[in-house]
Amino acid sequence: MTDALKQILTSNILKSYNNVQDPIYYINTLTVLVLLVCAPHFGHAGLAQKLINPTPRLHIISIGINEYRKFSKLQYAVPDATLIADAFLALEPRANIVSQHLLLDATKNEILELISKVSATKRLDDTVVIYWAGLSTFDDESGTLFLAPVDAEQVKRKPISKNAIAFFEIVERFQPKDKVIFFGDGCYFGDGFGDKISLTHPKVAILTSSKVDEAAIDGLPSLGGSPFAYHLAKALRSPVRDIDLDTLVSVDELFIYLYPKVVQTSNEAGASQHPSLIGRYTHRAMLSKAQTLHKEYKFDQFSDFKLATADQLEVNGSEIQESVFDENAHALRLGENDKGIFRNGLNFLRNIKGKWLYWHEEGKLVKYESPYKRSHAIIVAIDDYNRNNDPYRRPKTGLTQLSGMVSRAQELGEALRLYGFEKIHYFFDEKATSDRIEAILRKYWIDEEFASVDRLVFYFGGHGLDFHDQTLLATYNYDSSRKVGSTFRALSLIREHSELIASPHALFLLDVCHAGLAVVGTLTDQEISDTAIDPKILKFKRLSAIRDDAEERSRNILVAGTANQEALWLNGGIFTKALITTLKGENEADANNDGVLQFHEYANKVRGDVSLYAATKGHRQKPSFKVLTSYGQGRVLFDLIQYQSNVIKPEKFAAPPKKR
The 10s digit of each residue's pLDDT in 255-266 is: 999 999 999 999
Q: What is the structure's pLDDT at 444?
A: 98
Quote the pLDDT of residue 127: 97
**Do the beta carbons of residue 516 and residue 563 sit within 8 Å?**
yes
**Interval 603-623: pLDDT, tens:** 999 999 998 988 888 888 888
- With a CB cutoff of 8 Å and minimum separation 6, the contacts of 194 are 206, 278, 279
Question: Domain check: are 301 and 285 in the same one?
Answer: no
Statement to judge: residues 600 and 471 lie in one domain? yes
Provide DSSP, 454-504: SEEEEEEEEEEEEETTEEEE--TT--GGGTTTTSEEHHHIIIIIHHHB--S
Clarify whether residues 439 and 574 are in a common domain: yes
Q: What are phi and psi of 56, to 5 degrees?
A: -60, 140
User: Average pLDDT over the chain, rounded to whole?
Assistant: 83
- The reported pLDDT for the residue numbered 307 is 66
Q: Is residue 424 part of a domain?
A: yes
Q: Quote the pLDDT of residue 291.
A: 76
CB atoms near residue 634 (< 10 Å):
22
Which band of pLDDT confidence, cut at 50, 70 and 90, is reported for residue 526? very low
Residues 443 and 580 grouped into a single domain: yes
Residues 401, 384: Cα–Cα separation, whole Å? 6
Residue 205 and residue 335 share a domain: no
Distance CA 372, CA 378 (A): 17
Q: Is the pLDDT of residue 16 over 70?
A: no
Task: Specify whether the CB–CB gap between 478 and 484 falls below 8 A.
Answer: no
Answer whether residue 165 is part of any domain. yes
**505/561 same-domain check:** yes
pLDDT band at 303 (very low <50, low <70, confident <90, very high): low
Asked if residue 320 is part of any domain, the answer here is yes
**In this structure, what CATH number is given to the domain that contains residue 260?**
3.40.50.1460
Number of H helices, E strands in the chain: 18, 29
C-alpha distance from residue 568 to each of 435, 507, 513 (Å): 27, 22, 7
Q: In the listed set 256, 289, 322, which residue is the last one of a domain according to the structure?
A: 289
- Given a cut of 90, whether residue 144 has pLDDT beyond it is no
Query: Both 89 and 38 in a single domain?
Result: no
Q: Quick one: 313 and 392 in the same domain?
A: no
Task: Give the whole-angstrom CA distance, residue 540 versus residue 562.
Answer: 30
Percentage of the chain modeled with pLDDT above 70: 79
Q: What is the radius of gyration, based on Cα positions, of the chain?
A: 36
Q: Is residue 652 part of a domain?
A: no
Asked if residue 11 and residue 116 are part of one domain, the reply reads: no
Overall domain count for the chain: 4
Phi and psi for 7 in degrees, rounded to 5?
-65, -40
Dist CA 468 CA 280 (whole Å): 93
Structure confidence at residue 330 (pLDDT): 76
pLDDT band at 189 (very low <50, low <70, confident <90, very high): confident
Between 125-129, 151-155, 415-419, the lowest mean confidence (pLDDT) is in 151-155
Flag whether pLDDT at 37 surpasses 60. Answer: no
Q: Are residues 526 and 409 in the same domain?
A: yes
- Of 10-24, 205-219, 426-440, 567-581, the one with minimum mean pLDDT is 10-24
Count other Cβ atoms within 10 Å, centred on residue 329.
Answer: 12
Same domain as 546, residue 471: yes
The CA distance from 100 to 63, in Å, is: 11
Confidence of residue 305 (pLDDT cuts 50, 70, 90): low
| Cα-based angle 481, 397, 391 (whole degrees, multiple of 5) | 115
Residue 477, pLDDT score:
96
- Domain-located, residue 80: yes
Report the Cα–Cα distance between both ends of the chain, in Å, rounded: 52
Residue 314: give the domain boundaries.
295-367
Domain boundary among 254, 289, 324: 289
> Is residue 660 situated within a structural domain?
no
Non-local CB neighbours of 547 within 8 Å, separated by 6+ positions: 371
Tell me, yes or no, whether 656 lies in a domain: no
Which has the closest alpha carbon to 211: 275, 133, 145?
A: 275
Where is the domain boundary, 325, 342, 367?
367
Per-residue pLDDT reduced to its tens digit, 53-73: 789 999 999 999 999 998 899
**Pair (641, 539) in one structural domain:** yes
State pLDDT tens for residues 312-366: 688 888 887 666 676 667 777 777 667 778 888 999 888 777 888 889 988 888 8
In terms of Cα–Cα distance, which of 204, 231, 237 is closest to 115?
204
pLDDT at 587 over 50: yes
Phi, psi for residue 495 in degrees, rounded to 5:
-115, -90
Cα of 8 vs its chain's centroid, Å: 59
How confident is residue 52, by pLDDT bands cut at 50, 70 and 90? low
Residue 502 lies in a domain: yes
Structure confidence at residue 1 as a pLDDT band (50, 70, 90): very low
- Kindly report the number of other CB atoms within 10 A of residue 454's CB atom: 17
For residue 90, is pLDDT > 60? yes
Distance of CA 83 to CAs 66, 103, 228, 313, 522, Å? Answer: 14, 12, 12, 19, 67
**How much is the average pLDDT of 300-313?**
64
Residue 142: its pLDDT value, please? 79
**Could you tell me which residue, 52 or 93, shows the higher pLDDT?**
93
3-state secondary structure 116-161: HHHHHHCCCCCEEEEEEECCEEEECCCCEEEECCCCCCCCCCCCCC
